[in-house]
Amino acid sequence: MNLILLGPPGAGKGTQAQYLVEDYAIPQISTGDMLRAAVKEGTPMGLKAKECMDSGALVPDDVVVGIVRERLQQGDCAKGFILDGFPRTVPQADALSETLQQLDKGIDAAIALTVDTEALVDRLAGRRTCPVCGATYHLKYDPPREEGICTKCGAKLVLRDDDKEETVRNRMQVYAQQTQPLLDYYAQAGVLVEVDGMRSIDEVRTAIKEALESQS
């Protein structure tokens, strides 16, 4: 099962990717998580990426394409993978398709979560992230067991810098201009599966499962 999760920031890609990992036993490949790890480690790539991420812009295509290409060749991707937050531009989608062709693989489904802008802003403002294990929560919709503490690893939760209001607005624009065209791209490839992401987390999880089962 080779999957892509598409949708604007806050649509629920990371949340649903965690469930797909459980349901299908395939790894989540989140370029956002990988870039944040590089920033934290202070690697040359991290230093280059930080400025773009802080402003809500995209990191250059060659940087993300390079990390995804390397990741897809690791052994745990043999039975499938969930791309979360990649591709985000048409050149990234072209590079992915070329890489998969070389590996004799293809995309089974590009799942697009649709959520209206007001709900996205509400989700991002209330999102809390674990800086240690990467788990995400929501103050109202998916709270941790103990307030402010990661249920999975016990670390103190934070508000991501780029979830602050001024950056969120920029990220929405970047999505509309650079990423939204990918919906047509994958529709033309015959693998687009649109899922109404306005429902509860559990309902969206069930809708994705049903959509994937009806495809196979």
Q: Which of 4, 6, 15, 34 binds ligand ADP (CB under 6 A)?
A: 15
| Closer Cβ to ligand ADP, 15 or 179, answer by number | 15
Contacts of 199 (CB under 8 A, 6+ apart): 207
Contact positions with ligand ADP (CB under 6 A) in 123-182? 123, 126-127, 136-138, 141-142
Please choose, out of 82-90, 93-101, 125-133, 193-201, the segment that lies near ligand AMP by the rule CB under 6 A.
82-90
- Cis peptide upstream of residue 87 (ω within 30 degrees of 0): yes
Contact region for ligand AMP (CB under 6 A) — 51-59, 130-138, 141-149, 206-214? 51-59
User: Alpha carbon of 133 to those of 13, 53, 109, 137, 155: distances in Å?
Assistant: 17, 19, 27, 12, 8
Write the DSSP string, 131-167: TTT--EEETTTB--SSTTB-TTT-PBPB--GGGSHHH
Bridge-based pairing state of the strands 127-129 and 2-6: unpaired
Given 69, 71, 160, 209, the catalytic residue: 160
Q: Examine residue 56 and tell whether it contacts ligand ADP (CB under 6 A).
A: no
Tokens, residue 83: 């791309």
88 is known as an active-site residue: yes
Q: Using the rule CB under 6 A, which residue among 5, 6, 11, 64 binds ligand AMP?
A: 64
Whether 160 is a known active-site residue: answer yes
Q: Can residue 120 be called a binding residue for ligand AMP (CB under 6 A)?
A: no
Quick one: which H or E segment has residue 5?
A: strand 2-6
Give CA–CA dist 169/163, Å, rounded: 9
* 171 classed as catalytic: yes
Q: Is 169 a catalytic residue?
A: no
Q: Which residues of the chain form contacts with ligand AMP (CB under 6 A)?
A: 9, 31-32, 35, 52-53, 56-59, 64, 85-86, 88, 92, 162, 171
